[in-house]
């Protein structure tokens, strides 16, 4: 397969995401300059990337924002449509707040045998999702018969275009529309289970928040967005809504604490400092 | 649809579990494993060829290896191209029946015969050769 049949898709709404795409693509092209990039996004993305060599822009009329708070961006309105939007025979989707450590060619090569490659979520458990998503999680657990199935982070995934992956993305959209919540990954899990796709589960090191452990993509997991929301003191000043819900965070395997939404990274960082473990960045 | 438990006892090769089992859907339990739960994952076989639990070491990157396994580990990493693939335990396996699973199980036995050591590295190479639908289960405890 020639490189031209392979490509990378980003989604980009807002200045921070466009900046993230710019930086991520820089790291991608430092490793593999021939890979074309499609950016799906808003006017800001269209203005920034149109007419730039190597980029194609799809100005998407869909508004993924349910609200202006951190978890108001509903990727489920966009990601399940990417198979229909991709011009590539083999596609890598990657979130904007990422840095490539190795060329994604290694993942593309695996698509000779697999329909899709999905990366386990670092926290791995359905039980760590936002409390607001609990009805969806409870239903998913009931349908699959277990809470222990690994679920995946949709910040990085590869797929090849064929009938089963087209159907898989349709199922993803269908499943997401049942609950239309922030975490579209729970819907992806149900879609994967319902589909006929041969999907390869790969470890979290493919899409990793720890640079030392990263195999392919270092992922900030929204820290840029978090910083946007945090300017000064207090939740209101930070743009975070009052009465933020609590969410469980796994600090270490099997060790959970509840923190307010938006404070997850701070809790992890505090734990790392308290226990003396070093953070990569 | 017959479902049953295949309990390990004595010397044998785990990759033979597919041919040994008389059931359409099998829960294989290793000899040293106490049944850790009361609700088997048979329902996941509606969606996958087999259900596998993560190994305590999630990848091949763990530095803890007995010397006798190093050659096989090195060869496995070389053949897979990286240590960054999912490593599964073979102490607890749920599997159904399908042509592609039969092919993968045959490959597992072939791969195991190369070193005749642990089961799980041979399983990683077999999955790499013969893709199957896997429902991955989170390791419950280390």
Does residue A228 fall inside a structural domain? no
ipTM: 0.94
> Is B61's Cβ below 8 Å from some Cβ in A?
yes
Q: Cβ separation of A202 and B140 shorter than 8 Å?
A: no
8 Å CB contact of A201 and B44: no
How many interchain CB pairs under 8 A, A with B? 67
CATH number of the domain that residue A96 is part of = 3.90.550.10
Which SS3 state, helix, strand or coil, does residue A219 take?
A: strand
The two structure tokens encoding residue A236: 């209101």
Residue of B nearest to A113 (CA): B131
Domain that holds residue A21: 3-219
**Residue A204 domain-assigned?**
yes
CA A208 to chain centre: 11
Pairing of strands A116-120, B50-54: unpaired
Chain A residues in contact with B60 (beta carbon < 8 A): none
Predicted TM-score (pTM) of this structure = 0.84
In a domain, residue A150? The reply is yes
- Yes or no, beta carbons of A201 and B134 under 8 Å apart: yes
Would you give per-residue pLDDT tens digits along chain A (281 residues)? 555 699 999 999 999 999 999 999 999 999 999 999 999 999 999 999 999 999 999 999 999 988 877 678 899 999 999 999 999 999 999 999 999 999 999 999 999 999 999 999 987 778 777 777 889 999 999 999 988 899 899 999 999 999 999 999 999 999 999 998 888 999 999 999 999 999 999 999 999 999 999 999 999 987 544 444 443 333 433 444 444 555 666 666 556 666 665 666 667 666 666 665 433 22
Largest CA distance in chain A: 53
Q: Do A114 and B82 touch (CB under 8 A)?
A: no
The DSSP string of A38-64 is EEEE-HHHHHHHTT-TTEEEEE-----
The verdict on residue A230 lying in a domain is no
Count of the separate structural domains present in chain A:
1
- Round to whole Å and give the CA distance between B35 and B91: 10
B41·A145 Cβ contact <8 A:
yes
pLDDT in tens, B104-116: 999 999 999 999 9
CA distance B11 to chain A (A): 31
Task: Give me the residue from B58, B82, B133 closest to A106, CB to CB.
Answer: B82
In a domain, residue A27? The reply is: yes
B141 to A206: CB separation less than 8 angstroms, yes or no: no
Please check whether residue A102 is in contact with residue A213, taking contact to mean a CB–CB distance below 8 angstroms.
no
Which chain A residues are closer than 8 Å to B137 by Cβ?
146, 148-150
A163 closest CA partner among A197, A199, A214, A127: A197
Q: Which two tokens stand for residue B126?
A: 């077999």
Give the A window 24-53 contacts with B, CB below 8 Å: none
Whether A252 maps to a domain, the answer reads: no
Q: Is position A271 within any domain?
A: no
């Amino acid at each position: 397969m020639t490189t031209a049949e392979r490509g990378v898709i980003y989604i980009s709404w807002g200045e921070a995401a466009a900046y993230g795409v710019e930086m991520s693509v820089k790291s991608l092209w430092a490793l593999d300059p021939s890979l074309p990039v499609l950016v799906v996004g808003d006017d800001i993305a269209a203005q920034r990337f149109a007419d730039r060599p190597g980029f194609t822009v799809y100005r998407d009329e869909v508004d993924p924002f349910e609200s202006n708070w951190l978890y108001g961006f509903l990727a489920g309105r966009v990601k399940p449509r990417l198979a229909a939007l991709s011009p590539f025979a083999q596609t890598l989707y990657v979130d904007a707040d990422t840095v490539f450590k190795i060329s994604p060619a290694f993942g593309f090569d695996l698509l000779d045998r697999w329909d899709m490659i999905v990366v386990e979520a670092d926290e791995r458990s359905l039980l760590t999702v936002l409390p607001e998503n609990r009805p969806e999680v409870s239903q998913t657990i009931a349908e699959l018969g277990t809470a222990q199935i690994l679920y995946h982070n949709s910040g990085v995934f590869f797929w090849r275009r064929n009938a089963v992956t087209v159907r898989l993305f349709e199922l993803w959209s269908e499943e997401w529309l049942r609950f239309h919540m922030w975490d579209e990954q729970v819907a992806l899990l149900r879609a994967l289970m319902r589909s006929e796709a041969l999907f390869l589960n790969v470890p979290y090191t493919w899409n990793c928040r720890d640079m030392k452990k990263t195999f392919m993509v270092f992922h900030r997991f929204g820290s840029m967005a978090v910083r946007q929301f945090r300017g000064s003191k207090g939740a209101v000043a930070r743009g975070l809504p009052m009465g933020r819900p609590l969410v469980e965070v796994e600090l270490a395997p099997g060790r959970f604490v509840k923190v307010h939404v938006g404070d997850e990274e701070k809790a992890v960082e505090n734990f790392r400092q308290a226990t003396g473990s070093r953070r990569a960045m | 649809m017959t479902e049953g438990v295949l309990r390990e006892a004595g010397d044998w090769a785990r990759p033979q579990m597919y041919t040994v089992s008389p059931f359409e859907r099998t829960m294989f339990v290793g000899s040293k494993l106490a049944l850790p739960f009361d609700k088997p994952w048979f329902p996941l076989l509606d969606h996958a060829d087999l259900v596998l639990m993560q190994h305590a070491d999630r990848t091949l990157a763990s530095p803890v290896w007995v010397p006798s396994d190093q050659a096989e580990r090195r060869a496995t990493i070389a053949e897979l191209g990286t240590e960054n693939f999912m490593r599964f335990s073979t102490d607890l396996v749920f599997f159904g029946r399908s042509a592609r699973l039969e092919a993968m199980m045959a490959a597992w036995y072939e791969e195991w015969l190369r070193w005749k050591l642990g089961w799980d590295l041979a399983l990683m190479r077999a999955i790499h050769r013969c893709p199957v639908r896997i429902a991955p289960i989170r390791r419950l405890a280390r």
